[in-house]
Chains A and B, each alone.
Chain A
Amino acid sequence: MKKQEFLSILAVEFNVSNDSLSETSVLEEIPGWDSMSILVIMSMVDERFGLILTANDFVEIKTIGELFTKIGPEHIK
């Protein structure tokens, strides 16, 4: 999957405009981010890539770019 495609899906999930998200966006600063939002991302990543992320992974993942790194270049580029 292309990074841009993932950003678009993310934008739909969080109901924000497409161009408001980039690799440098901090997850917690996405408008509407709340305690459930990590679960939204976990579910997206599981569904699209079959990859199970844990809450502890998100201690290190602060930005969308870091999320991409975690998902890995074999899945997203």
Chain B
Amino acid sequence: MFSLQQKCVVITGASSGIGKQTAIICSRMGARVALFGRNEERLSDVLELMEGEGHRYFSFDITDDNQLEVALADVFNTMGMVDGFVHSAGIQKILPFKLTNPEIFNNQFKVNVLAGFESCRIMLRKNYFNPAGSSIVLISSINGVIGAAGQVAYSTSKGAVISGAKSLAIELAPRNIRVNSISPGMVENTQMTKGLINQLSSEWEVKNKAEYPLGWVSAEDIANSCVFLLSRASQKITGTNIILDGGFSAR
């Protein structure tokens, strides 16, 4: 039920953090995985950590629609129908609101929101999704649900992912494509988290961790939820947002 055997899964942001861990765990669950990311060296390192065969990586800039289209066509031609798509690529810029100009919004929207939805749109138009049933998982953030100072643009983009996923879920249900999002809280040891600690201080880290009843989450925790949403075990779940935050927002 939870297996991804025979499935082909495309993952953006696969060279590090959540995307990387999702790729590894999807491979353990039997999927063939297409890794999208910018850094070829890191992508090939991830490939080394994966189990099974038939995986491929594609290094390019996912905010470039033409390259995205070429890569997705390549996936379809060489790996077959797409059963799952995970949009894990994301960037975060912490900035006081008064410095958050439209360019700051645009840059984060391009990666966090548009690259994900454009990937879905291309795969729909070209009929790359497996008509037997497919699953789209968009990685949002706890900040798409809860506010944080300095994160107006980032949280706006992550909120857009959650609401966009809901509308897309309704629209694609007749085609047997499920669409869900995941909102992780702070994730241990990712580049994004390290960047945040650098900017906000180690004191902030200690204080923030104390607000997580189960502690900060791991990339593996999120990858496991991705596998669930990609698998048949979640076949009636669509249009939902899984909050995966160690209880942070339960208070």
Interface residues, chain A, with chain B CB atoms under 8 Å away: 13, 35-37, 39-40, 42-43, 52, 54-56, 58
- CB of B95 within 8 A of CB of A39, answer yes
The answer to whether B198 touches A39 (Cβ under 8 A) is no
Complex CA gap A36/B149 in Å reads 8
Pick the contact of A54 from B94, B95, B149, B198 — CB < 8 Å? B198
Interface of B is mostly: helix
A43-B95, A55-B200, A55-B203 known; 9 new pairs, CB 8 Å cut-off, are A36-B149, A39-B95, A39-B96, A39-B150, A40-B96, A42-B199, A52-B198, A55-B199, A55-B204
Contact B202 A43 (CB under 8 A): no
- Which size class do B's interface residues fall under? 10 to 19
Inside 8 A of A37's CB, which chain B residues have their CB?
A: 96
Nearest A residue to B198, CB-CB: A54
Minimum distance in angstroms from A76 CB to a CB of chain B: 20
Proximity string of chain B (181-206) to chain A, C-beta cutoff 8 Å, 1 when within and 0 when not: 00000000000000001111111100
Distance in angstroms between the alpha carbons of A24 and B150 in the assembled complex: 28
For B197, the chain A residues whose CB sits under 8 A away are 55
| Smallest CB separation, B143 vs chain A (Å) | 15
For residue A52, which residues in chain B have a CB less than 8 angstroms away from its CB? 198
> Contacts A40-B99, A43-B95, A43-B99 given: A35-B149 contact, CB under 8 Å?
yes
A sample of 18 inter-chain contacts (CB < 8 A) reads A13-B98, A35-B149, A36-B149, A39-B94, A39-B95, A39-B96, A40-B98, A40-B99, A42-B199, A43-B99, A52-B198, A54-B198, A54-B199, A55-B198, A55-B201, A55-B202, A56-B201, A56-B202
Whether the pair A36, B199 counts as a contact (CB closer than 8 A) is: no
Q: For residue A42, which residues in chain B have a CB less than 8 angstroms away from its CB?
A: 199
